[in-house]
Structure 1
Amino acid sequence: MTATLHTDWRAIPPEARGCVAAIGNFDGVHLGHAHLIHTLHAARPDAPLAVVTFEPHPRSFFRPQDPPFRLTSAEERRAALGALGVRHVFQVRFDAAFSHLAPEQFVNDVLHDALGLVHVGCGQDFAFGHRRGGSGTFLSERLSELGVGLTVVPPLSDVGGPFSSTRIRRLLQEGYPERAAEELGRPFAIRGEVQHGDKRGRQLGFPTANIPLGEHLEPARGVYAATVRLPDGRTFGGVANIGRRPTVNDGRESRLEVNLFDFQDDLYGQTLSVALHTMLREERRFSGLDELKAQIATDARTAMAYLERQRGA
C-alpha cells in the first residue's frame, strides 16, 4: 500500500479526515514503531490508519550543527509506513513558527480542527508543543474534552531494552548492520542519486556508483556486502564502501560507493537504494593502487559468497 502524503496541515481534504493517527518522528520505522501502529489499529480498526510526523526532524531544526543522523529520508519513511498499512501521512513542517506552538494549540488547531482525528496513539514518552511543554496527561485530558480517543502504547522491548532509533544508529555506527536489520524489520538502506566521481573504480576494474550520504547516518566506515535496488525494481548484489578512501582520496568527505555484480549500464542520475547486509572489513589505507585493486577483488568475492549463502538460507 502507498500512503498518501499531506504536507500542509491547514489544507487537509475531506476524504483524509476522520483517521486514527499515531504521532511521532518515526525515523527508521523500526519494530517499535510497527508495534505502536499495529496496537493503535487494533484499538480502532474501523477508522483509516494515519501517522502524524514532522519534517525536518525536530533534532535537525534545533541542532543543525549535528552530523547527519537520519535512518530514513522522508520518502523512505512514507514507503515504510505504507507497508505497515498506513493510508495517510500527515507530514507537518517543523519550522520556527511551529516550534513555538503551544501544546493546547497543537491539540486543538492541528489534531482536532485541521486533521479531524477521531483517535490518537503515541508512546509513553511523547511530549509536544513549545519547549516540549505538553505531557501525556495533558494530551489525554484535552483530547477527552474534544471527544477524541487516546491510546498510549508501552515500548516494545527485548533483553537489550526498548527498541529505538537511537539504539539502531549505535549498531550501525559500530558496524553491525545485521543486528540493525533485526530491529528495523528489514535491512538498513541508503537511498540517493548516483553522481559522477573520479572514475577511479573504473580504472581499477571495478566501476562504482557514487552516492552522497546526504542526511543519512554514516555507518561504520568500511566495506559491506550489499544489494542494490534500481528505480525499475530490479535488484543486484554488490560490494559497497563507505568512507573517505584514504588510499586515493584527500579524505574530506565520506560517501557511499557500490559496485554492482553482473551489471554494465549507465546509472548516472538514477536514484538507487543500497541495502547493507554485513560489514566485511573496516576502512584502511593501502600501500598503493595494486594492493588496493587486489583487496577490492577479494572483497567482491567475499561479498558474492555471503549473498549466495543468504539466498540459500
Structure 2
Amino acid sequence: MQVINSNNSNNIFSCYTGVGLGNFDGLHIGHMALINTLIRESKLNGLSSVVYTFTRHTENILRKKLITPLLLTESKKIELLSETTLDYLYLDEFNEAFSRMSPEEFVIKILKSKLNIKLAVAGHDYRFGYKGEGDIPLLEQFGKKYGFKVVVIPPITCDNEIISSTSIRQSIINGNLETAYKLLGRNYSIIAEVVNGRRVGNTIGFPTANIHPEKYLVLPHNGVYITKTLLNGHLYNSMTNVGYNPTFEDVQQKTIETHIMDFHQDIYGEKIEVFFLKKIRDEKKFSNVEELIIQITKDMRVARDYLNIDS
C-alpha cells in the first residue's frame, strides 16, 4: 500500500480509481466492510483502490471547542490498512478553506481531477461538501453526471446496534472494553513511548511503564484493566492503571501505568502498544500504601486467572 499525503505531493492519478470515502476513525467492523467492498469491486473493474480521508478529524476543525476523541492515531491507521490489499491511502488536509468547498466542487476538484474516480464506495450516512450538504442521493446524482458508479454500504449492526465510531468511543470511555472489542473487531489499544514517572511502582514491588498517549486519543474510564503489551514484536501479559493514583495526593495529570508481568527490563524510551482486554475495577483512593499493595495483589490474581497464568 502506498501512502500519499496531499501536503507533500501534487499526485494526480493517471489510472482510474475506486475510492472509499469517510473519516474512518477507528477502522471498525463497518469501516472494514466498506474497505473490503472497495478492494473487491476495484479489482473486478480493473481499478486502483484508494481510501480517501483526512489527516485530522473534520469535527475537530469545524467544532473548535468540542473535541471529538480519536480511536486511532494516523500511524496506527496506516498500519492496519497496510495489512489489507488496498493500493493507496490518500491523506488530505482538512481546513476551514476546504470546508467551504461545495459538494459539487469537491466532486470536480478532488474526486474527478485528483483521483480520476470511476467508483465511489461510501457508508449510508456519508456527508460531504460545505456544512455536510452533500449526501448519498446527491453523490449518486453526481456519479451519473460525472461518470462514476456509487456503491452504498448499508448499516452494519452488532447485537441490534448500528456499529459507529461514536458508540465505540462511548464504550471505551465507560470502561466497557469487551463491547468495544466486538464493535472494533480487535482490542482497543494505545501506542506511546515509555516515559519517566515517579517510580512509585518500583518501591511497592509493582514497577510500571508510564506512557502519555497522543492528544485527542480516547482514554478508558479511570480504573484497573487486564491488558496485553506489545514491545519489540513480543506480546506480554500486563495489568494497567488509568487515572490519577488518588492514594498519592500530588498526582494532577491523568496517567497510564502498565505493569508487565514477569518482566524485569529497563524500557524507558521504548515504544509500547497496550491492548485493553477487560476492566477489573474502578480507581480507588486507599488510606495508606499497605492497603494499596493488598488491593494490587488481589487485582494481579484476577488478571493472572483471566489470562490463565500460574501465580
Superposed pair shares fold, TM > 0.5: yes
Give CA-to-partner distance per residue, 1:130-163, whole Å, 9 cap, x none.
Answer: 1112222222222322222211111111333211
1:101 deviates by 1.7
Aligned match of 2:147: 147
Match for residue 26 of structure 2? 28
Gaps (5+ residues) in structure 2? Answer: none
| 1:284, distance to aligned residue in structure 2 (A) | 0.7
- Corresponding position: 1:241 with 2:231: no
What's the counterpart of residue 220 of structure 1? 221
User: How far, CA to CA, are the matches of 1:210 and 1:68 in structure 2?
Assistant: 24
| Shift in CA distance, 245/10, structure 1 to aligned 2, threshold 3 Å | closer
Please tell me whether the aligned partners of residues 244 and 255 of structure 2 are also in contact (alpha carbons under 8 angstroms): yes
SS for the counterpart of 1:194 is strand
Counterparts of residues 248-287 of structure 1 (less than 5 Å): 248-287=248-287
Q: More deviation in 249-258 or 212-221?
A: 249-258
Name 1:191's counterpart in structure 2: 191
Contact 2:158 2:183 in 1 (8 A): no
Does the C-alpha gap of structure 1 residues 62 and 238 become closer, same or farther in structure 2, counting only changes over 3 Å?
A: same
Write the distance in 2 (CA, Å) between the matches of 1:21 and 1:119.
6
Counterpart-to-counterpart distance in 2, 1:120 and 1:208:
47
SS of the residue 1:140 aligns to: helix
Structure 1 residues 160 and 243: CA distance shift in structure 2, 3 A: farther
CA distances 1:176-235 after superposition (whole Å, capped 9, x unpaired): 1112111111101011111111111111111111111332112111001100111x2111
| Alpha-carbon contact 2:17-2:42 (below 8 Å) kept | no
Equivalent residue, structure 1, for 2:9 = 11
Work out the number of aligned pairs and report it.
307
Deviation of 1:15 after TM superposition, in Å, equals 6.9
Residue of structure 2 equivalent to 1:78: 78
Distance in 2, Cα, partners of 1:302 & 1:105: 57
- Unpaired runs of 5+ in structure 1? none
Residues 104-253 of structure 1 mapped to structure 2, 5 A cutoff? 104-214=104-214, 215-230=216-231, 232-253=232-253
Q: CA RMSD in A?
A: 2.1
TM-score normalised per structure 1:
0.91
Preserved contact between residue 39 and residue 85 of structure 2 (Cα < 8 Å): no
Contact residue 58 and residue 94 of structure 1 kept, 8 A: yes
Q: Using the alignment, how far apart are the partners of 2:296 and 2:113 within structure 1?
A: 58
| Deviation at residue 282 of structure 1 after TM alignment | 0.7
Q: Report the residue type matching 2:36 in the other structure.
A: H
Deviates more, 1:214-223 or 1:183-192: 214-223
CA distance, structure 2, for counterparts of residue 111 and residue 10 of structure 1? 18
SS at match of 1:118: strand
Normalising to structure 2: TM-score of the pair? 0.92
- Contact 1:50 1:88 survives alignment (8 Å): yes
Of 77-86 and 284-293, deviating more is 77-86
**8 Å CA contact retained: 2:286, 2:292:** yes
